[in-house]
A and B are shown apart, each in its own frame.
Chain A
Amino acid sequence: MADHTRKVGIISCSGEAIPGGALSRVACRKVLDELRPDKSVTLCFPLFVAGGEEEQMFADMFPTITVDGCEKRCTAIGTARLSGTPAKTLIVTEILKERGIPLTSKLRNLGPEEKAAAQAVAEEIASVIDKILANG
């Protein structure tokens, strides 16, 4: 079995119909590809429903961070229900509010403003990854 002990799982809401979902998606990819490529792993959220036993054990195998786009918290609720309790739940709108960054309405073709917002969310996710790994 692969050594999962030094990786943190990230699950993005990816909400197709909300701006926070688009930012969540881009931010999670940024963490996976650029900020913490050796310390993070992901699973597409709907795979909890569509996948098998292995997918549903995801949150048991990894300390998992959920990144929701809005206050409905689909990812946090769904992950807890179908896989396991997340180690940390994040909400894009709350992260932006704390940092004084406005949420724009774009769902795709993100511009500089949205990319800067996604970068802020990605940095928050990376920071949480570091804290989780530091605490063993």
Chain B
Amino acid sequence: MSEQSGKVAVFACSGIGKPLGSVAREIGYELTERVRPGSTVLTCLALLVISDPEALKLLKENPVIAIDGCVLACALKCIDSHGAKVVRAYQAMDFFKRHSDLKPEGIAELNEAGRQLAALAADELAGVVDELLAGETKNG
């Protein structure tokens, strides 16, 4: 069995133009490294652009969480254009609207508020991971 089967695939914004793109990536790291390390896998979004076979397999066989930085929703559009199985899509901006006291700044290096925002968002997404995996088991 593949090491990646039975996991939720996480694709995050790979932009370098806005702090919210960095927040999106940080949410991906928090989710896959701290909140649900055993049941999620983070993969490079750019691999979809070159139709990498392993990334496409992951996308088509696993439930997916897309985390975008801005309304352009590049991650979601990339995922949709490559035929994902099940996708839940989120934008860093929406988490910021709910936690507007945590204003992210910095792109190469997020400020503390940005990192806190990402941690809170990842905590909120834990339930989504659990729900997606429960659906996988049910449909099994």
Contacts and interface: CB of A to CB of B under 8 A. Distances in A.
Contacts of B72: 47, 50-51
Interface of A: 12-18, 21, 25-26, 28-30, 33, 42, 44-51, 72-75, 77-78, 81-82, 107-108, 110
A78 B50 contact: yes
A59 B44 CA distance: 22
Nearest to B29: A108
Interface string B17-39: 10001000110110000000000
Interface string B50-91: 101000000000000000000011110110010000000000
B17 A42 contact: yes
B74 A50 contact: yes
Contacts of A44: 13-17, 21, 74
A33 B19 CA distance: 14
B15 A46 contact: yes
Given A16-B12, A29-B16, A74-B49, A46 B78 contact: yes
B105 to A, nearest CB: 13
B113 interface: no
B48 to A, nearest CB: 8
A82 B49 contact: yes
Nearest to A107: B29
21 contacts: A12-B16, A13-B14, A14-B15, A14-B45, A14-B46, A15-B46, A16-B44, A18-B44, A21-B14, A26-B108, A42-B16, A45-B49, A46-B49, A47-B72, A48-B49, A49-B78, A51-B72, A74-B49, A75-B46, A82-B49, A110-B109
Contacts of A107: 29
Contact of A29 (B25, B29, B43, B107): B107
Interface string B104-140: 0001110000000000000000000000000000000
A107 B118 CA distance: 15
Nearest to A69: B44
A44 B15 CA distance: 5
A78 B25 CA distance: 21
Contacts of B25: 16, 108
A46 B74 contact: yes
Contact of B81 (A42, A49, A74, A78): A49
